[in-house]
Structure 1
Amino acid sequence: MAVSGATIIAGLLVLLVAHQFLSNWQFNRKYKLPPVVPGWPLLGNALSMPFPAGMWGVEMAKKYGEMYTCYFGGKPYVFLNSSRVVNVLMEKRAAIYSSRPERPMTQGIMSGGARMLLMPHTNRWRNQRKIMHSILNGRSAETIFVPYQELEVKQLLYDLLKDPENFHVCNQRFSNSVITRVVFGRRSGLHDKQLKDILDLVEILGQYLFHPLKNLPDVFPWLHSLPKPLQWWRRGAEEYFNKARDLYKAEFDAFEKKLKSGTARPCFAAELVAGAEKKEFILDETEKLFVFSTLLEAGSDTSRNAITQSIAAMATNPGWVKKARRLLDEVCGENAERLPSLADRKRLPYMNAVVKEVLRWRPFIQTGVPHMLEKDDEYEGYRFPAGTQFAWNAYAIALNENDYKDPVAFNPDRFMDADLNSPLKGHWSFGTGRRVCVGYNVGANNIWLAVACLLYCFDVTEDPDHPIDTFNTVWDVHKDAPFKARIKPRSQAHVDLILNASKEALASDY
């Protein structure tokens, strides 16, 4: 007797359901995960998780507690919603919580397998991190980099004085110019094409990293096994890789010409070349270019967002501004006598607290890039299988009343404690565990200097016709200002100070 096609299909579906049931039963006998957010078959929570996910994550944390589980492509993804659990799992157990999941799209094609941010916890990753750490945090790093930062902040003040409505562009130029000086020894102009290209690349990468439906090949890595003609995503990913590689190669080629002519300034690239010649560093061409990309993308993005957020904090929470300004006036003079400098850090400990509160208050990376567990682990009754992904839920932590008293308010005094001088303590904006941003000292100094000078020279207020929604602002947009604010110099004396101080920056070549 012939068997109909419908019968065969029905039988296959029964087998599939039975297989799934058996697999779930076996998994649940061995493992126990935190509460699971309901999702769809196969896609899991990909349809319900918005981009950006900050306030959605806050609501999920309120509903499901200190940890909850989402599924993407059948794989568990645990969100950590308090500093307590982040500290235990991703800090104290960093030896097994520091790898990365397979990402054939964002790491394999878009990054040529060479982007340190997305590398598994391997010797190749350790080699890149060692190179960056030795150059960015070596004994001479501050001597080399601080003069660059103090020149660029004078240009920032001038730009804000002349075009306050486009404060976001001024912040972008400052952040990018500092990092291009640090990496390649060159400055960036206000409308630098390289800056636009970098920010475009960062925006695209961010969407692919944090928006599951945008990036099905990373959610379902088996799609990468399809014949190349059927990989509909490949062409766009390869175009991204080629654009990124060409961008950083052009920068390095221009630097090499200066190096050969003897006109290159001290910088990261010079140290890298010297180390490679001595066989201290071993990198292939693609790795070298993506080391530069890691620094330029992170350096341009982190500082500009934090400075922009500080402007929102000044406008919406004016109480702390009065205290900070009084302390700045005590050191730099009430009558605009001189600009704050990084040499003032010991005399202005409150500014250290301001920087940490900026980084805590409204995290611009609303969920951390996930770490992957390398072997089975157990914690407080939960049993996690190797391969589970973990991410700190940045907004949920920032607004967690068990972590911070009155967390909605911008209050630097919360950081006036024994950890005041540790830029990494009290927030997670620079990452966690062995994945902490290797350039955090440069980033923290950028924010300190820019915010101190902004506070000292300008009054910042809300535009009453356009109130700032600090909970739902997409901080990292770069084509337009993420909000409106009124930025005016404190006095004519401060205008004169900015004009005099900026002469050096305006006369400096690019």
Structure 2
Amino acid sequence: MPLMLPMHILAISISLGALFVFVVVREVFAPPHLRTLFQRKQYRLPPGPAGYPIVGNLPAWRHARRSTPALIQYLSSLSTHGEMTTLHHGSRTQILLNTPRLVTEIISKRGKITHERPPMPIASDLVSRGKRVVLLPTTQWMEGRRVMQHLAKVERIKTYTEMQELESTQMLAAYLLRPEEWYLHHYRYSNSVMHRIVLGEGLVKRTEELLELQRITIQFLKMIGESMVDYFPLVAKLPACMQPWRRKMVGIGQDHWSIFETWWRPVKGMIDAGTAPPSFVRDALLHADFKYRGSDEQAMYLALSAISAGSDNTRMILNSLVMAALCYPEAMQKARDEADAVCGADAERLPLISDIDAMPYTCALVKEVLRWRPIVPIVPPHQLTQDMEFEGYYFPKGTEFMINTIPVCNAVEDPISFIPERWLDGNEGSIGAGLFIFGGGRRICVGYKLAQTQLFVAFSRLAYCFDYAATGEYDSMKLQHHLTTEPFPIKATVRSKEHEQLIMDQATQFGVLDAARKPF
């Protein structure tokens, strides 16, 4: 007969075995500072909410990510722990930076050791095929960044003003002809500008193609920090047959690649044939003088990522402007008064980007919209490349720092109110001064200066020419600016017959009236 262990011995053995497995799993997957075996260094991190074994704060984090309002509320509540909040997300330790001071100190001043990106096996390796530059490790990111600096040069930005003014004129005409599609006009405008700058031609894409690009852009942004695998990157090293999620994620990555490729192929063909118009791709990315060392596929991702990110962010910011016009019409009126003083109250001409120095209040309005309702609640994390001591804390290598945009933007007097005047400090013409919407340090968005002129010309012209009125209930505290459908009920009305005629005349002169007549 087989030897039978007494029940209490069997129970103890099972319990010890389970405990051993738990300790091993915890030790393997825990962040460095939480490993108890063979850990000699004593790290000290800022306070944060209590979590669960192994997964840490992931349950609360993932629950909050289900909706933008919930995420905003959750991130705001975490700032009660102090200037920094520690979150344990699986194998990753993430520190939220809750004040502008800490963002400056850690992301900007210590950028040499806080510039890295953490590994993201799903969002970066599979969904992005290791090609989206925003998530790449520094060794691969630097080459794309070097070429992207071409977009930030002052002389280049000046050459883009004509494109931005032309496309904003088409947006105004579309507003006139189909005011009920105001939110769609925002997307077409932002996409058209980036399309001209990056690829060098007017937007000729079908509505379906535009919506497909928008779809994968939103999907990609949701994928950053969405998958449990990204919080336990070690499991991505398992054999492919032991990764049941892999096939689906590779399929998503193939879908994104295919859509990018339909936009890239025609432009690449014209460049190869010598018939392409001036553009970032022709004159920088693929120009022989720049000696870009990436592959053709990497170049495609670099170009299309610039278009997709620039398009969707600007769209959401313009939606936020409309909400501000509803909630604070006096601010919009001040911007209009400023435009009237420069361009004439009787619709003598449209505001131009060259008017930017003469319209400081409108520049301040742009910055306040960005602060009041930031479009990105959290900026992609920065990872420490070595241990770091800071103000009594000791952070291990691999710790991640994230800009907690909501409390950072609320670190002003009366943060709930919309007060553009708070930015009239002599730096209103610099969209990055005092704001961290575009990130910070070495990883700051290279196109933020380009975004400033694009937003300025759109804001100033909409304030000059159109009135906004609500046609239903809305709540600025639950702003759904990210929705691709109408985010809130609006009626847009041209200011006067004279302004209507000015728009039609300008659209005719620039040759964009027929394009404005086409439905989205």
* Cα deviation code 1:309-334 (max 9, x no counterpart): 11111111112112111111000111
* 1:448 is the counterpart of 2:459: no
* Cα deviation code 1:142-199 (max 9, x no counterpart): 2431111111001111111222222221100000011011111222369533321121
Q: How does 1:91-490 map to 2 (within 5 A)?
A: 91-122=108-139, 124-133=140-149, 135-188=150-203, 192-211=207-226, 215-260=227-272, 262-272=274-284, 274-275=286-287, 277-278=288-289, 280-399=291-410, 403-463=411-471, 465-467=472-474, 469-478=475-484, 480-490=485-495
Whole-angstrom CA distance in 2 between matches of 1:227 and 1:190: 41
Task: Please name the residue that 1:501 is paired with.
Answer: 506
* 1:76 is the counterpart of 2:93: yes
Gap change, CA 1:346 and 1:39, over 3 Å in 2: same
1:265 deviates by 1.8
Gap change, CA 1:79 and 1:505, over 3 Å in 2: farther
Whole-angstrom CA distance in 1 between matches of 2:467 and 2:206: 25
Cα contact 1:94–1:434 (8 A) shared by 2: yes
* Cα deviation code 1:322-364 (max 9, x no counterpart): 2111111000111111110101112112222111112111111
Whole-angstrom CA distance in 2 between matches of 1:305 and 1:449: 16
Whole-angstrom CA distance in 1 between matches of 2:327 and 2:205: 27
Structure 2 counterpart of 1:71, one-letter code: H
Gap change, CA 1:257 and 1:208, over 3 Å in 2: closer
Cα contact 1:245–1:289 (8 A) shared by 2: no
Cα contact 1:302–1:443 (8 A) shared by 2: no
Structure 2 counterpart of 1:483, one-letter code: F
Task: Please name the residue that 2:73 is paired with.
Answer: 55
1:297 deviates by 1.7
Gap change, CA 1:14 and 1:346, over 3 Å in 2: same
Whole-angstrom CA distance in 2 between matches of 1:109 and 1:93: 31
Q: Secondary structure at the match of 1:426?
A: coil
* Cα deviation code 1:291-311 (max 9, x no counterpart): 112201211112111111111
Q: Secondary structure at the match of 2:59?
A: coil
- For structure 2, the 5+ residue unaligned runs are 28-33
Structure 1 counterpart of 2:483, one-letter code: V
Cα contact 2:164–2:193 (8 A) shared by 1: yes
Question: Please, what is the CA RMSD of the aligned residues?
Answer: 2.3
TM-score, L = length of structure 2: 0.90
* Cα deviation code 1:203-225 (max 9, x no counterpart): 111211143xxx01111112212
Gap change, CA 1:190 and 1:290, over 3 Å in 2: closer
1:367 deviates by 1.1
Cα contact 1:31–1:385 (8 A) shared by 2: yes
* 1:34 is the counterpart of 2:46: yes
* Cα deviation code 1:97-136 (max 9, x no counterpart): 11111111111111121211001222x2111101010x21
Task: Please name the residue that 1:15 is paired with.
Answer: 20
Whole-angstrom CA distance in 2 between matches of 1:29 and 1:184: 51
Whole-angstrom CA distance in 1 between matches of 2:276 and 2:162: 16
Q: Secondary structure at the match of 2:17?
A: helix
Gap change, CA 1:232 and 1:31, over 3 Å in 2: same
Cα contact 2:92–2:232 (8 A) shared by 1: no
Whole-angstrom CA distance in 1 between matches of 2:291 and 2:349: 43
1:28 deviates by 9.6
Cα contact 1:173–1:189 (8 A) shared by 2: no
Gap change, CA 1:309 and 1:147, over 3 Å in 2: same
Whole-angstrom CA distance in 1 between matches of 2:103 and 2:297: 33
Most deviating of 67-76 and 10-19:
10-19
Structure 2 counterpart of 1:131, one-letter code: V
Task: Please name the residue that 2:31 is paired with.
Answer: none
TM-score, L = length of structure 1: 0.92
Whole-angstrom CA distance in 2 between matches of 1:166 and 1:190: 18
State the number of aligned residues. Answer: 497
Structure 2 counterpart of 1:440, one-letter code: Y
Gap change, CA 1:158 and 1:5, over 3 Å in 2: farther
Cα contact 2:367–2:420 (8 A) shared by 1: yes
Cα contact 1:152–1:505 (8 A) shared by 2: no
Structure 2 counterpart of 1:125, one-letter code: W
* Cα deviation code 1:222-244 (max 9, x no counterpart): 22123323322222221222222
Whole-angstrom CA distance in 2 between matches of 1:110 and 1:117: 13
Whole-angstrom CA distance in 2 between matches of 1:380 and 1:87: 14
Structure 2 counterpart of 1:482, one-letter code: P
Whole-angstrom CA distance in 2 between matches of 1:102 and 1:76: 13
Q: Secondary structure at the match of 2:380?
A: coil
1:61 deviates by 1.2
Identity %: 29
Structure 2 counterpart of 1:56, one-letter code: Y
Q: Secondary structure at the match of 1:428?
A: coil
Q: Secondary structure at the match of 2:300?
A: helix
